[in-house]
């Protein structure tokens, strides 16, 4: 069975910001499998272009962070960025401080360090050049690597001690856009995690269309991670076929989630279902996502977190909010029902 994964919202949202910065038409979001997060940023950019001054990004962290940098360089514009209750508890201080160091005017309208933000757009620049700039504008140990990406997307070269693949993705997208005025909208490796989880739990084979071994997405590492869970990946020109072709070894796993926080729900719930001890390292960022993912997985409640919802559903566990999947994977419930007909849920312990 073949599955058409959604496009990578990480790549699409970076492309949207670059298109807006360069006055290019925004990519179309009319496809029914377009992630809600991409629609949120597209709508926000459209409203800003039409003169809007109050922008609501709901619980889309990418939109909040990228738009903070984008609005900060819109000379002469005054814009309020806000979101839902969860967004008002997602930190912004590191990004705001870095932008202020480049000349931005940004105020907190509520609790210090968190949205909503009042932004008066100005011309921004890194105040020093060369190697000094790397020391002056630094976001080390970032609470979100999107802070660094937001700065880079608006042309503010920023140093960070993070080796996140998401920052590398941003640099690669910038390079490709500079060369071609567009980037390839790859299919989403983060969404593939749930099908790897499904095959690890229930067996069978699935073909995931459009995934590339040489992807700019850091979550492509899941193909290597899932080898120890008995799932092999066979790439061809159309995508990858994943197959559980050997038994899962039940030794304890020690995994770092510093660079792959979106893989935690699928791996943690898989380990719980197979009664495999998991020592999860570098989990601080997990508490700052759409939910506190450590808590959500522990309680098996979504708290409207799309990745927790999908990880629960492929494991055959109750899900209190299946509709939140649309944040990154609108067609997931339909795809899951089709897969269950082809590969029934038969968890082997």
Give the span between the Cα atoms of 266 and 268, in whole angstroms.
6
Known catalytic residue at 262: yes
8-180: CATH architecture: Alpha-beta prism (3.65)
Is 8-180's fold the same as 189-342's? yes
Cα 8 to Cα 12, 40, 114, 178, 253: the distances in Å are: 6, 15, 27, 20, 28
Catalytic residue (one of 37, 56, 262, 305): 262
Give the span between the Cα atoms of 226 and 200, in whole angstroms.
8
Average pLDDT over residues 5-16: 96
The ranges assigned to domains in the chain are 8-180, 189-342
Q: What is the pLDDT of residues 148-185, one digit of tens each?
A: 999 999 999 988 888 889 999 999 999 999 999 889 99
CATH topology of domain 189-342: UDP-n-acetylglucosamine1-carboxyvinyl-transferase; Chain (3.65.10)
pLDDT over 60 at 134, yes or no = no
Find the DSSP H helices in the chain.
Answer: 9-21, 36-49, 61-72, 93-101, 130-136, 146-153, 165-180, 189-202, 222-225, 264-273, 293-299, 306-314, 332-342
Order of strands, sheet of 239-244, starting from the edge strand that comes earlier in the sequence: 2-4, 205-209, 239-244, 231-236
Reference 183, options 3, 5, 11; nearest CA is: 11
pLDDT over 90 at 69, yes or no = yes
Q: pTM value?
A: 0.92
Report the number of secondary-structure helices (H) and strands (E) in the chain.
Answer: 13, 10
Q: What is the pLDDT of residues 225-244, one digit of tens each?
A: 999 999 999 999 999 999 99
Give the span between the Cα atoms of 87 and 174, in whole angstroms.
27
């Amino acid at each position: 069975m073949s599955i058409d994964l959604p496009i990578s919202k990480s790549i699409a949202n970076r492309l949207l910001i670059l298109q807006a910065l360069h006055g290019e038409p925004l990519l179309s979001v009319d496809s029914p499998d377009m992630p809600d997060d991409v629609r949120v940023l597209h709508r926000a950019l459209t409203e800003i272009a039409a003169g809007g001054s109050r922008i609501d990004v709901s619980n889309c962290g990418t939109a909040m962070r990228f738009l903070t940098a984008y609005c900060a360089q819109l000379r002469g514009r005054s814009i309020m960025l806000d979101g839902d209750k969860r967004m008002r508890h997602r930190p912004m201080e590191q990004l705001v401080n870095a932008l202020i160091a480049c000349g931005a005017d940004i105020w907190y309208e509520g609790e210090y360090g968190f949205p909503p933000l009042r932004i008066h757009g100005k011309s921004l620049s890194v105040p020093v050049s060369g190697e000094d700039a790397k020391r002056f504008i630094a976001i080390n140990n970032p609470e979100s690597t999107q802070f660094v990406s937001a700065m880079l997307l608006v042309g503010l070269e920023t140093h960070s001690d993070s080796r996140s693949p998401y920052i590398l993705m941003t640099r690669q997208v910038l390079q490709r856009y500079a060369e071609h005025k567009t980037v390839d909208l790859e299919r989403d490796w983060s969404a593939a995690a749930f099908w790897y989880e499904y095959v690890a739990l229930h067996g069978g084979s699935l073909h995931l269309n459009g995934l590339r071994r040489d992807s700019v997405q850091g979550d492509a590492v899941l193909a290597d991670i899932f080898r120890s869970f008995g799932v092999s990946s066979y790439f061809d020109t159309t995508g990858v076929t994943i197959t559980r072709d050997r038994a899962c070894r039940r030794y304890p796993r020690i995994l770092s989630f510093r660079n792959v926080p979106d893989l935690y729900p699928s791996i943690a719930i898989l380990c719980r279902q197979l009664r495999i001890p998991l020592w999860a390292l570098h989990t601080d960022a997990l508490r700052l996502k759409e939910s506190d993912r450590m808590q959500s997985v522990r309680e098996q409640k979504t708290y409207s977190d799309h990745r927790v919802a999908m990880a629960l559903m492929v494991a055959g566990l109750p899900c209190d909010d299946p509709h939140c999947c649309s944040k990154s994977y609108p067609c997931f419930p339909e795809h899951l029902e089709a897969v269950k007909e082809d590969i029934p849920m038969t968890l082997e312990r």
